[in-house]
Each structure stands twice: as C-alpha cells, then as structure tokens.
Chain A
Amino acid sequence: MRAVLARQAGFSLRRRLVWQFLALSLLLVVALFFAVRFAAERASRASQDAILGAAVISVGDGIRALDDGLALDLPYATFSMLGAMGDERIFYSLMIGTRLVTGYDALPQPQTTPDDLSPVFYSNEYKDSRLRLAAITRRVLLDDKVQEVVVTLGQTRYGQAAIARDTARSAVWIGLGFLILAVPLALWAIRAVIRPVDRLAGAVARRGPHDLRAVRHPTPRELVPLVGALNDFIARLRGALKLAETFIFEAAHRIRTPLSLVRTEAEIALAETSDEATRARLRRMLRAIGESSRSATQILDHAMVLYRSDQFSAAEIDFAALARSVLRSVQPIAEMRDIELRDTGLEHPCQIPADERMIEVALRNILDNALKYSHSDGRITVTLQTQAGMAELSVKDEGKGLPDGDTDLTARFQRGSNVGDVVGSGLGLTIVSEVAAAHGGKFVLEPGKEKGTCATLFLPQS
C-alpha cells in the first residue's frame, strides 16, 4: 500500500531556515558596518582629540610675555605631528578678547571660555572645511595687567574619517567572509536539526501494517508533543480496532454455537425423515449451515491471528509434527472426496520458533483451500524442506489453478475470479499471510508446474 503524501504545505522548512539565516546574517553585516564605523570614529576621535589637546597646550606653552610685548615660539614638531595623520589642514589663532594677536582671522572660538589646564574641544566650520578645534587660555602679564590669551587650534579630520571608513569596510569584508564560511555550516546544522524528523518519519513508515505499538523512537524534546499526539492517535486507533475485533470475535462466537445446534437438529431431522423432497431441502440447509459455521470459524481464526500477532510470543515447536497432526485431521475429508494426500519430509523433526496455534490455523487453512479446489480423485502433495535458514512447507494440488491476473489473493475477502460455485469466505489465505508475516516469514501462492496451484509457507528457523 503506498503511503499517502501529506498535502504540500507550500514551503520548505529547510529553505525557509536558510533564507532566514541569510537575511539575518546580511542584516548583521550591515549592523556590523555601522557599529564598527561608529566605534572606530569614536576611538580615533578620542585619540586624535588627545593629540590635539596636547598640541594646543604646547602652543600655549610657547607664549612668553616680555617687557614690552608677547613672544610666541610655535612648535614645529607639534604642527608637523598634527598634520601627519591623513595630511590634515591646520588652523590656529591667538586672541586677546576679540583682538587677533596672531594666526588665522575669524577662527571659530569656543562657546565657553576654557581654563588654562584642560582644553575645550568643539567642532565647527572654517574655510569650507569641518574642523575639530581645541582651545585653552593662557594668562600673561601685558602692560602691567593680567590678560587672557585664548589659544585655538583646529584641524580637519580627513584621516579620521578615512580610518573609520576603512575599518568599517574591512569589518564588512570580514563579516561577509564569515557569512560565506557560515553558509555550509548553517546548511549542515539545518540538516542536523531536520534529521530527527526524517528518522522519526522513517521509523513510523517502516512499521508493519498491524504494528500499533506506541512510538518509542528517541526524539528531540521539541518533537515530543508531536510524538505524543501520534501515540495518542495510535492508542485510539488500537482501541477502535480492538473493539472491532472483539465485536467480530463475539459475533462469530455467538453465531457458531446456535449454528452447531441447528446443524445437529437438521442432521437428526435428516436421519428421521424419508421424504425425498424434505431430505434434499435438509441437505441444502446443512450445506449452508456448514458454510456459515466455517466462515464463523475463519473469522474467529482471523481475529485470533490478529490478536496473537499483536501479542506475539514464540516458542520452539516441531513444524513437522504439527504438519503431520493437521494432515491427520483433514484425512477424513480427503477420503470422503477420494483425494490422495501425500507427504514428504514430514518424518524428520523440524524445530522453528513459532506460535503453535497460529501455525496450526495457517496449515489448516492451506490444506482446506487445497482440498476445496481439488477435483475428486486428485492428489495433494505436502512437502517440507529447509533451505537458507527457512523452513518451506509447500502444498501442491491439481485443481483449477490460479486465473491469470489474480496476483493478490491474500487480501481480506479477496477471492479468485474462477472459484465458480465453490463456497468460501475469502479469509483463508489472508490468515495464512498474516501468520507468515507475524513470524517474519512469507506466504507465496503460485501456479503449479503443470496444473493446479502450489502454496508455500516460508518460516524462519531462528
């Protein structure tokens, strides 16, 4: 029976995970770019501010008040150093109040007057450039009074911007590199995540048709609810099936008992009456009763086999002895129809692990079938042999054989297309198949070499 595919959900979990991973990673790379740029900008601004601060202090230190004026020794090395990173432009001014002492005119002044210990930092525009400026105050004695000289030093930050940009750019390349490295890893991880689901599906799919045990396959914690639901469902299904089987078993049982009573009564009536018409009617009745009771027996057998398959427990039995005893039990029917029963290979004991009741039912059904479809004066050959660890019991008859195209007669209530008026329930071969399957063996029904049918039951020896 083919597994019915679940309706396509329209998306693949795997693909969705991959896309989500890629989208998230790209988002992270972009975030990385901005974060690194921000951090690099801050870090380089802090270090460059430190240099600028030291520079403005050293310029301030170069101011000297003389008897009649002011001297300034601008430090060459300081200016050289300030410009070094990224070839920055440099502007400076010395102001007393609003009067320019030296340097660049109209250089932006700090909002608050700086003190003479720590410089004030600020940013502003000057000569079409964005400047970072630092200012410090120096007090000098000029014209017999203390005057405050504000020293302002500004530089462009082309280098800083370039560094931040380059750093952020390399961060992006590193991020993309990681992404490329991570894609196969992610694919592998996703496969690892999905593998338990596949395994669970495989474990459930591999089960036999009657295996309704709860799923005990080790599952990841996330799948426990799914397995729980599955097990619940299986339990309900098993309950429903059991109910049905019990019902059938009960029904068959309850029908069989009154039937045997009716049969006995009919046989007595047949013996006591001499009216031919009544006798013929009674015989037809007996025949119908026989068929019904036979069907009931088979339904019971079937229910029994299903039940015992479910609770399967095997013991060592002698297959040959069992076959002999079943053969003996059908001997009277064979004699009644002048059918010769032959057996080979039944004299040696053949030990197999099996459920004796089930095997017995299977054998009886095979022989029953053979007898039913054999012509009178025919011959049925029962052969037992062992081959490749399997005990093979084959029953050959010389009857009608199998019609072309009838390949699966082992399904429930399935009967051959050439049965004619031979009565039957269609359950016999189903029972045999199920017994074989429960024992890990198989049942093969094939046309005989010349005529008739050959039914073979394979059962494993260990």
Chain B
Amino acid sequence: MRDLVLAAIISLCLQAPATAYEIEEQRIFGDGSDEIRVLSTTDLTAISPVLQDFAETRPNMRVRYDQAASIEVFRAIHDEGAAYDLVMSSAMDLQMKLANDGFAASILPKATGLPSWARWRDQLFGVALEPVVTLASRRGLGDLSVPRTRRDLIAMMREHPTALNGRVATYDPQQSGVGYFLMSQDSRESEGFWRMAEVMGRLNARLFCCSVDMIEELRAGRITIAYNVVASYAARFTPDDPDLVRLALEDYTFAIVRSALVPVNAPDPGGATSLLSFLLSDTAQRRFAADSGVALIPGTGEAPSAHLRPIRLDTGLLVYDDQLRRAGLLAEWNAAMVQP
C-alpha cells in the first residue's frame, strides 16, 4: 500500500532544535603540537591504521578523531558551526548538501586518479567506495538457500515467515542518515523495494541506527539477515567468521562514496588538505579498497563488479534532503513497516 499522505505544510524542524551533536567515540593519534580535528562517520577501528600511519610520518601533528552518526555530523557543521578541519561521511546526500550550501572550502589536495564522478568541484572528494551488502548468518539460514537477488530474498521471507520473524534487520531511515539515503536510493532504483519493505514489516523487521550494531546482533545469532550493511564494517569479521555470508545481490548492489570536505571555518585547512591528500594516496587507498573489497581509484584494488552501482557525487543527491520528499518517503516507509 503506497501511501504518500502527509501533513500539508510540514514544519521545517524535523530535527529537534539545537541540542549539541553527539560524539560516539574519540581518539587522538600522534602527539605533535598541531592538531587536526576530524569529524567522521567512519568506524574508528576501520580507519585507525591509516591515521596511525599519517601521525607517524608527521611527528609535529596530531589527529583528533571524533566519530559520530551521519546526521550528527551534518548537524554539527550545518547547524552548529562546529570547528573541524576535515569532515568525512558516508551520507552522500548530506555531504553534498553541505558543499552545495557553501559550508565547504575550496582546496587542492593531491587527488591523482580520483574519478570525476567521485568529486564535486574542488570542495567534496570521494575517499572510499563502500559497497552496501546484505549479510546473512549461515547458522540462522539453516537449510534455506542463500538468496542471490532481491527477488530471491523477498520469496524467501514470504515462504518462511515463522523462521524469519523478528530475525530480519535493516537501517532505521529515521535515525540514520545513511539508512535514509539507502532507502531513497532503493526506492528510486527498484519498484520492488516497497514490496520488500512490506514483507519486512510483516516479519517485524528490527531497525538499527548503525551497521556495527546489526553485525553484532547477527554474530550473536539474534538475527539471520541484515539488509543494507556498509561492507567495510563487515570486512573486519567476514574472513574470520565462517558463519557470516556477505551477499552482493546481483540485481544491483549500491556502492556509496565516503566523502570528505574541509569546512569553510576550519582552523587548519592546510593540515586538513594534507591529511586528505594522505587519505587519497596509494597506500591509504589500498587499505580502504582491501576493507571494502572494491577500489575507488582504479588500480588500487579490485575493480567494481558488473552489478555494483557506485552512486555519483553530484547535485542530484540534493533531492533527498528535501523536507517534503523526506516526509513522503518516511511516511511510506512507516506505512510499510507498521502492518495493520
């Protein structure tokens, strides 16, 4: 049931007014005197080695890394004007909006080989390509066959409602910027998405704020299928954990571009530019490509497979942030999730 109903004129304040943004984790790399402040959605564990490398090559610098959810990151910059040197996020639409609305400074990092679709002007730069995959637990699936497409997935969920009830997980688009973005992309890409949402709703799907939580629940055996998980989070576990199955669905698999910008009010744009250059360097790119399984800059890792659809960094992303559109999509999502 597609229901686009919503209040005629929605109040602008979807987000509650002016509460300070929330930082989940913080770590400082290196012990130099010049501090580069990074605000990012990227999992601290995943990026630590790269930042460690950076701090080692530059003894006079230290990097303060603040990890936050994508909406928090956006809010910190857009609404609160927080002083950061580099802002990195996987929520492409929010990053695009920051750049479009004039929050990003023009910089000139060394970005050799960075494809033109993965950058916007001299303000927003793709740092890594992150496929969005579906994870499944082999134990949880039992004798069910591993789905290869969304159609298989829908069919499986329909045919085994008792086995999968309460054991399917995905992002909560209302809590997570990446989750909302992925839902918008899914709804744009395939008409069957809403059908899948309804099936998930019927199975009382569990909604999460972050990929990490989903993976933890999956490994704990409390859920069987996690739909739309950012691959780099899963990368930490998949090689060691024989129970985890990484599914790159063959009808399409999105790859989002984790992007970085230097805010106009950055205290140290020069340091931020050199850090960004380092993130775009061959060594860092090889590490990112190894984590996510696909290379952003050609030649630094595995080439994208045929069903992978990287999302371009362009102004089309601005439509996702429209309040009216957002409200419409969320209403539809809620209608699908909450079965009468």
Give A residues with C-beta under 8 Å from B. 64, 66-84, 87-91, 94, 96, 99-105, 127-129, 142-143, 158
Chain B residues positioned under 8 Å from A68 (CB to CB): 5, 7-8
- Which chain B residue shows the least CB distance to A104? B101
8 closest Cβ pairs, A-B complex: A83-B315, A80-B316, A69-B8, A74-B319, A72-B324, A102-B324, A87-B121, A79-B316
Bound: A91/B7 CA distance, A? 23
Residues of A within 8 Å of B16, CB to CB, are none
Return A445 CB to nearest CB of chain B, in Å: 93
**Shortest Cβ distance from A389 into chain B, in angstroms?**
87
A79 and B319 contacting across the interface, CB-CB below 8 Å: yes
A129 vs B188: C-alpha distance in the bound complex, in angstroms? 31
Q: Is the Cβ of A99 less than 8 Å from the Cβ of B9? A: yes
Interchain CB contact under 8 A, B9 and A101: yes
Q: Is B325 an interface residue (CB 8 A)?
A: yes
Which of B5, B7, B314, B325: most chain A CB closer than 10 A?
B314
Q: How far is the CA of A68 from the CA of B120 in the complex (A)?
A: 38
Residue from A82, A101, A158 within 8 A of B315 (CB atoms)? A82
Question: Are B322 and A83 neighbours in the complex by a CB distance under 8 Å?
Answer: no
- Establish whether residues A71 and B4, one from each chain, have CB atoms under 8 Å apart when the complex forms: yes
Q: Is the CB of A67 within 8 A of B5?
A: yes
Interface residues on B, range: 20 to 34
A75 CB contacts on chain B under 8 angstroms: 319
Residues of B within 8 A of A76 (CB): 188, 316, 319
With A87-B121, A143-B8: A72-B102 Cβ-Cβ less than 8 Å:
no
Known: A89-B102, A101-B324. A70 touches B314 (CB 8 A): no
B141-192 contacts to A (CB < 8 Å) = 188
Contacts of A90 in B (CB 8 A): 100, 315, 318
B324, A94: Cβ atoms closer than 8 Å: yes
Interface centre among A64, A70, A78, A102, by most chain B C-beta atoms within 10 angstroms, is A102
Task: Tell me the minimal C-beta distance from B134 to chain A in angstroms.
Answer: 24
Cβ-defined contact, B314 with A80, below 8 A: yes
B273 close to A (CB within 8 Å): no
Known: A81-B316, A105-B12. 16 other contacts (CB 8 A): A72-B324, A76-B319, A79-B314, A79-B315, A79-B317, A82-B315, A83-B316, A87-B120, A87-B121, A87-B315, A88-B315, A90-B315, A96-B9, A127-B101, A129-B102, A158-B121
Within 8 A of A (CB), among B82-140: 100-102, 120-121
A-B contact pairs, 21 of them (CB 8 A): A69-B6, A70-B8, A70-B9, A71-B328, A74-B318, A74-B322, A76-B319, A81-B316, A87-B120, A87-B121, A87-B314, A89-B100, A90-B318, A96-B9, A101-B324, A102-B322, A102-B324, A102-B325, A103-B322, A128-B102, A143-B8
B101 in contact with A69 (CB, 8 Å)? no
Q: How far is the CA of A76 from the CA of B328 in the complex (A)?
A: 15
Q: Which residues of A contact B7 (CB under 8 A)?
A: 68-69
Using Cβ atoms and an 8 Å threshold, which residues of chain B touch A74? 318-319, 322, 324-325
Q: Mark B6-40, 1 if CB is under 8 A from A, else 0.
A: 11111010000000000000000000000000000
Residue of B nearest to A74 (CB): B319
**Chain B positions 316-334 with a Cβ under 8 Å from a chain A Cβ:** 316-319, 322-325, 328
What mask results when residues 56 to 76 of chain B are scored 1 for a CB within 8 Å of chain A, else 0? 000000000000000000000
Q: Which residues of B contact A88 (CB under 8 A)?
A: 315
Taking CB atoms, residues of chain A closer than 8 Å to B100 are 89-91
Chain A residue nearest to B319 (CB atoms) is A74
Instruction: For B12, give its contact among A66, A94, A100 (CB under 8 Å).
Output: A100
Instruction: Tell which of B4, B10, B317 touches A66, judged by Cβ atoms closer than 8 Å.
Output: B4
When C-beta atoms are compared, the residue in chain B nearest to A129 turns out to be B102
Q: A99 — nearest CB in chain B belongs to which residue? A: B9
In the complex, which residues of chain A have a beta carbon less than 8 angstroms from the beta carbon of B120?
83, 87
Q: Complex: how many Å from CA A102 to CA B12?
A: 8
Chain A CB within 10 A, most for which of B4, B6, B315 = B315
- B246 neighbours in A (Cβ, 8 Å): none
Alpha-carbon gap, A101 to B322, bound state (A): 10
Q: Which A residues lie within 8 Å of B78 (CB)?
A: none
Bound CA–CA A82/B102 (angstroms):
17
CB distance from A277 to the nearest CB of B (A): 128
Nearest chain A CB to B212 CB, angstrom units: 29
Residue of A nearest to B264 (CB): A128
CB contact under 8 A between A127 and B315, given known A70-B8, A70-B9, A70-B324: no
Interface flag for B219 (CB, 8 Å):
no
List A contacts of B202 (CB < 8 A). none
- Verify if B206 is at the interface (C-beta below 8 Å from A): no
